[in-house]
Structure formats: structure tokens, C-alpha cells
Chain A
Amino acid sequence: MDDGSPVAPDRPALVGRNAVDRLYRAALTGLALSLPLLLVALLAELVASAWPAITRFGVRFLWTSVWDPVAGVFGAAPMIFGTLASSLLALLFAVPLALGVAIYLTEFSPKWLRQPVAFLVELLAAIPSVVYGLWGIFVLIPFLRGYVVPPLRGVLGWTPFLQGVFYGNSLLAGGVILAIMIVPYIAAVSREVLLAVPSSQREAALGMGATRWEAVWTAVVPYGRAGLIGAVILGLGRALGETMAVTMLIGNRHDIGLSVLQPAYTMAAAVANEFSEATTNLYLSALFEVGLILFVVTVVVNALARLMIWRVARGTAVGSRAL
């Protein structure tokens, strides 16, 4: 399958014919084979270990919310809900911010500012998850409690999303920290996508009399739409699987509620918290099933994102500019 990559064409004259060449190629192929094998092994291992729970609970596992290790009854609905809710909340904050950064850096910023700002934003991606978690506990939560939640309640306190007492560890705190964490990913990929838009697009719009902003909004962004959506989906993939920071901030309560001020739980956090203390085989198996669901969801989300990004910026390692 051609992906437009500028790889050496297999012209007969250039193809090695000696034994060491074949050996070299075989060795590299063997190493490359490790990745698909790894994917298959991961999936097989998760399915095998989750099998007792799968056969015991069936699809009910997905929408029942009882999680009782003592009675041996498990349902993952609260975690699935919490994972989706915290990720969507994160996208809500992160997407405008990240797209703004990408558009500013590719289209408007002075040239001397581009490199430093891009570098600083990408440094956000280098901060370890657990450091975000620590910062969230001691800085973000007090900040939310003191300056964000009271005014927010004053304006929107009547909606079901802001009910209950705010103790700190909550869906809101988890969503905000996730947003900060995925901004650099979405921004870096969006920037690559926007850079891949041919300048003739821009010039044509400007030639028609569009302002610079109109050129961006009517010619550049629509051209890269698939790639930009891909970038957002990629960010979603990151948010879904993010573990440490969320575990430290979301409150870890098996509960489904509309209020973002209440604690919730995510699939990754449940595995992180409960895996080493799972006492029965069924309990362990249920956690494996949670891991399996998480894995399958992120694989699908990532595959989708890559395919969309490849349509615009072909074949490049996404985020490699984050080097």
C-alpha cells in the first residue's frame, strides 16, 4: 500500500543480492515484527485474563453500576461514564486553547516568536503525569475551591452540573488537569497539519480580498479539517487513557452523577488503585476486563485519529516535531 513515503524504490539494480544483505534485512524485519506481535499479545493476554469476568457478567458489565468485590458482583458503568465525562470535559477546555495556539503559531505570530513558544508549549508534554497530579492536589484544587467554583456557582448554580458540596477531588479537577495535559498534543499535531496546508490556499483567499483571519478561517482551516479533527481525537485518546494525574484528582468514587463538583472514577484510575489489592480471581478478572475495554477504546480512537491525520499530513510521525 502506498503511503506516499519517499523510500528507496526496489529497483533490481539496488536490491542487494548477497547473503549478508538478506541476513540484515531479515534481522530488521524480525525486529519490526515485534510491534504487531506485541499488539496481538497484549490483546490476547487481556482477553484471556478477563475471560472469567466476560463469561460471568456478559455485556451487563458495561451498564450495571454495582461494584462489590465482597459479593463478587461487578459492573463498570460508573468508570466508563467517568472516563468519558472527564475526557469530554478536558476536550471542552483544551480544544479552543490548542487550536488557538496552533493557528497563532502558524499564521499570525512574529517569526522570532514561533520557535520559543512552540518549544514551551511542547515542554508541557514532557512534564510527567505524576507531577501534574501533585501540582493538581496542592495548587489546582485550592485554586478551584477559592476562585473558580464560587463565582461559577453564582452564575450557573441552578444547573444540575454544579450541585453538591465541592470537596476538591472531583470530575472538574480531573477534567481541568487533563485539559492542561492534552493541549500540547493537540497543538503540536494541529500545527503540523496547518503547516502542511499549501500556501496557495492562503494566497488564493488573500488574493480574493479576504483579511488574514478570513483566509485562515475560510481557506486554511477547512482544508486541514480532517487533520485537525484527527488531532482532537488523538487528544481524546490521550485523555481516555491518562492515569496518574486523574487518579490523584478525580476522587475515585464508584458513582454516576451529573455534577462536575462531585468525585467520579475512571477506568484507568480503577485499575491503578485496585489492581494490586484485588483478592479474588473474579475481582482481578473484572479489572482485566476494565483494562481490556480501555485498551480497545483507545486503539480504535487512535487508529481513527491516525487515519484522519495521514489524509492531510501523510506518513509523518505524529508529534515528532515535539522533539
Chain B
Amino acid sequence: MTTLVGVLSFVAVLALAVILGYLVVKGASSLDWNFFVKNPVPAGQAGGGVANAIVGTVIIVGVAALIGLPIGIGTGLYLAEYGSGRFGWIVRFVADVLNGTPSIVVGIFAWTWLVRPMGHFSALAGSVALAVLMVPMIARTTEEMVRLVPHSLREAALALGYPRWRTSLRIVARTALAGILTSCLVGIARIAGETAPLLFTALGNLNFSSSILQPMQTLSLQVFTYGTGPFDEWHRLAWAAALVLMGLVLLLSLTARWALRSRHGAAR
């Protein structure tokens, strides 16, 4: 039986290796300068790149982070500092439940709130959808990180006459800064690859666009459109875009891990 569970672990790791391996093998050959700086060409033609999708991903995820991070971090601080009562329990529970909400449902929510009133698809609606996905995640991980701050530190500051808010911001949040940063990076990494909530908010765009009130392309939407399309050229670009997207997500995850490790030693 011991061998069996060992083999099962091996299988799980193997799955990762196979997926990443295919991404590199199929995607790397299409990565060249043009891929990063050119916009898509009409279907059927060779060449072209995904510059519009790369810029779009950065803009949409960046705006989502601007909206989502303050709310998420604030909620996390609340839960860690004041969350011992009934309301704290409710917020914690709702955050965990929202964390499991299908992203497509959040997408139609953003559609009813922003796309329908505005009358057209927009990158902003996509950002809002991603922010909604981000908040519960950031809140819970921030809370965990703030909780790691020793209680004695807080008491020492209060004993020195610091008011509670300064203790919370200057002592507690600052001590947990590396942890909070980690949770932000993980949150951004998770939403950077989201596709479903963008399908009918940001919609996608075959041309270059940097206006957040207009439809915009992202790498994830590009992978979906090209991967399910009929042309070999599209499939080639889809693999390359997937590789870039995966690289971006991995980079964020690994940075997050490294930030935490360097701060807390081998805390985990």
C-alpha cells in the first residue's frame, strides 16, 4: 500500500511534467520577436503575433488589481484584527464560499452590471469581474499572513501608547508585509489566466486596443479563440500564447513563494 500511494504521487507529478513539457515543445518554436510585437493577421495568412493580447492582459489584470487589492487587503486586515465576532465569522464564511463560485457566474454578473447599462463590451467590465474573483482570495490569505504576526508585538506597541490603528498599520501590517505581498502575487497569478469571466465582458479584440472602455484581447482569450479555431497557423499561435501565459503565471507564483521563503525562512 505504501508503494501504491508513492506511485499515485508520482502520477500526479508526471501529469504536471507532461503538460508543461507539451507547452514548451509545441510553443517554444513559435516564439520569436514578431510574436511579441506584431498584431494578429487575417485568418489564413501566416505570421503575425499577439502584441495586442499581451498588452491587454497587462491592462485588464492591472486594473483588476487596482480595484481588488485594496478591498481584499482591507477585508483581510479586518478579519485578522477584529474578526473574532459573529460578523467576522460571516465574512470569513462568505469569503470561502465566494472563493468557490464559478468564474463564469461572476462573468454574467459583471455583464449585467456594466456591459448591459453601457450598451457595449469593455475591458473595464472584465477587470471588475476579475477583481470580484480576487477579493475573497486576497482577503483570506492576507488574514492568514497577518495572523502569523506574534501577539506580543501588538501588545508591546499598545503598551507604548500607540493607538490601535497605528499599531495595526505600522507594526502588524508592516511585519506581515512580505506575506501580504505574497498573497497579492498569488491572487494576481490566479486571475491572470482566467478566461470564462472575460468571454462576455472584455470579449476579445483582434486589433490593438488600449482603451479600457472598449473590447480588449487577453492571452487567455487568444488561446481559446485560436485553440478552438480551424487553422493550423492558429493552433501554432495558441500553443505559443499558452506558453507565454503559463510562463507569466509561473513567474508570479514562484516570485510569491520566494518572497515568503526569504522572509520566514523555511516556515512552510
- Write the residues of chain A forming the contact surface with B, with a CB cutoff of 8 angstroms: 1-3, 5-10, 14-16, 18, 20-21, 23-25, 27-29, 31-36, 38-39, 41-42, 45-46, 49, 96-98, 100-101, 103-105, 108-109, 115, 117, 119-121, 123-124, 126-135, 137-139, 180, 183-184, 187, 212-213, 217, 234, 237-238, 240-244, 248, 268, 271-272, 275-276, 287-288, 291, 294-295, 298-299, 301-303, 305-306, 315-318, 320-321, 323
Contacts and interface: CB of A to CB of B under 8 A. Distances in A.
Interface stretch (B39-47, B187-195, B205-213): B187-195
Contacts of A242: 102
A97 B5 CA distance: 8
Contact of A244 (B1, B86, B224): B224
Contacts of A323: 141, 182-183, 186, 256-257, 260, 268
A241 B108 CA distance: 13
Given A108-B5, A317-B143, A317-B144, A130 B164 contact: no
Nearest to A297: B102
A5 B227 CA distance: 46
A180 to B, nearest CB: 5
Contact of A317 (B140, B227, B235): B140
Nearest to A126: B253
A213 B158 CA distance: 50
Interface of B: 1-2, 4-9, 11-13, 15-16, 18-19, 22-23, 26, 70-71, 74-75, 77-106, 108-109, 111-113, 132, 135-136, 139-141, 143-144, 147, 151, 154-155, 158, 163-165, 168-169, 182-183, 186, 189-190, 192-196, 199-200, 203, 220, 223-224, 227-228, 235, 238-239, 242, 245-246, 249-250, 253, 256-257, 260, 268
Contact of B22 (A14, A108, A121, A135): A135
Decide if the interface of chain B is mainly helix, strand, loop or mixed: helix
Contacts of A243: 102-104, 195-196
Given A129-B193, A213-B1, A35 B135 contact: yes
Contacts of A294: 102, 104-105
Of B1, B79, B132, most buried by chain A (CB within 10 Å of CB) is B1
Nearest to B186: A323
B250 A244 contact: no
B15 A180 contact: yes
B249 A127 contact: yes
Given A7-B81, A130-B242, A316-B144, A121 B151 contact: no
> Which of B1, B5, B93 has the most CB atoms of chain A within a 10 A radius of its CB?
B5
B135 A38 contact: yes
Contacts, number: 303
A135 B19 contact: yes
A241 B101 contact: yes
B74 A27 contact: yes
Nearest to B257: A323
A96 B8 CA distance: 8
A141 to B, nearest CB: 12
A172 B199 CA distance: 25
Contacts of B77: 28
Contacts of A291: 104-105, 108
Given A16-B165, A276-B200, 15 more contacts: A24-B169, A25-B82, A35-B136, A45-B109, A49-B112, A109-B9, A117-B13, A126-B253, A127-B249, A130-B245, A243-B196, A272-B196, A298-B102, A302-B100, A317-B141
Contacts of B155: 14
A234 B102 contact: no
A8 B88 CA distance: 13
